[in-house]
Amino acid sequence: MARLNDLLNNPQLWRSSRRNLAAEGDALSTGHRALDKALHSGGWPRGGSTELLCNHSGIGELSLLTPALSELSQQQTIAWLNPPFQPSAPALQQAGFCLKHCLFIETGNLRDQLWACEELLRSATCAAVINWTGKQRLSDRDLRRLQLAARDNHCWHIHFRSDHCHRQSSPAPLRIALRAQESGLALELFKQSGGPSGQQLLLPRAEFLLHQQQAASDWPTPRPRPLRRRRLRLARPLSTTKPASSLEIH
């Protein structure tokens, strides 16, 4: 009976009637109150894979992660693996990142990327590893290796994948679908181990990121340019009389 109780109390064993208390005590606040409330652990799980499913980059997905990542970067390394755009150092610094703890890596193919990601997760030197694989389909074995490496070494693995990958099962304990809306970022909790799924949230964008266009009636009207006066030049009339030297005598 004692062995059975030890097994049932193991935090790695998921039970639908019990919330993951170990994850709750080790969660990192997302910086968004509504999302913290929707996540059963109260924030991002520090150890394991978090899959963010979206079809387009640049829709505000980094602003979703900035509060947590900028905090982690103050003490440990944040690895960026094959980001879709060239990172801007001034923008990251303005967002609160410690640049000396940001490591940017580019690989030539998927095989090298998966190897580098697993090595970073197992290195015990990174607080988080952000990995972009896009529409490339990963095998169940590859996904399981990344999840185990992140969980066993207490590293937060953020995995950006295409929204089409939601049909494929994944060992990642947290999967969230992201979609761009006019005034914010729409989230759907596709899966969270130990907690309910299916919640839909809309996180508003920061005001300075919104382009407020004035009404057409308020647009400045350009003044017409004054016409330039042209001087008229009178051409000399052409003479119809031939010169004497050119007259023909008959």
Beta strands in 86-173 (DSSP E): 102-105, 126-134, 156-161
Q: Is the pLDDT of residue 21 over 50?
A: no
The topology under which CATH files domain 47-196 is Rossmann fold (3.40.50)
Domains of the chain, by residue range, sit at 47-196
Please enumerate in sequence order all residues whose Cβ is within 8 A of that of 190, keeping only pairs 6 or more positions apart, or say none: 53, 166, 175, 176, 177, 197
Does the structure show a pLDDT above 70 at 238?
A: no
Q: Could you tell me which residues come within 8 angstroms of residue 68 by beta carbon, excluding any fewer than 6 positions away?
A: 28, 29, 30, 31, 43, 44
**What pLDDT sits at residue 58?**
87
Confidence at residue 230, expressed as pLDDT on a 0 to 100 scale: 64
pTM for the predicted model, two decimal places: 0.74
Rounded CA-CA distance 121/48 in Å is 10
- Give strand pairing partners of 132: 160
Residue 25: predicted pLDDT: 45
* Predicted pLDDT of residue 69: 96
User: What dihedral do alpha carbons 76, 79, 84, 90 form, nearest 10°?
Assistant: 40
How far is residue 233 from each of residues 8, 228, 236, measured CA to CA in Å?
A: 105, 16, 10
Q: What is the pLDDT of residue 176?
A: 96
State the maximum Cα–Cα separation within the chain, in Å, rounded to a whole number: 144
Q: How far apart are CA 56 and CA 183, in angstroms?
A: 16
Q: What is the pLDDT of residues 146-203, one digit of tens each?
A: 999 999 999 999 999 999 888 888 999 999 999 998 888 999 999 998 888 899 999 9
pLDDT of the residue at 109: 94
Q: How far apart are CA 185 and CA 52, in angstroms?
A: 12
Mind listing the pLDDT tens digit for each residue in 45-79?
Answer: 988 999 999 998 888 899 999 999 999 999 999 99
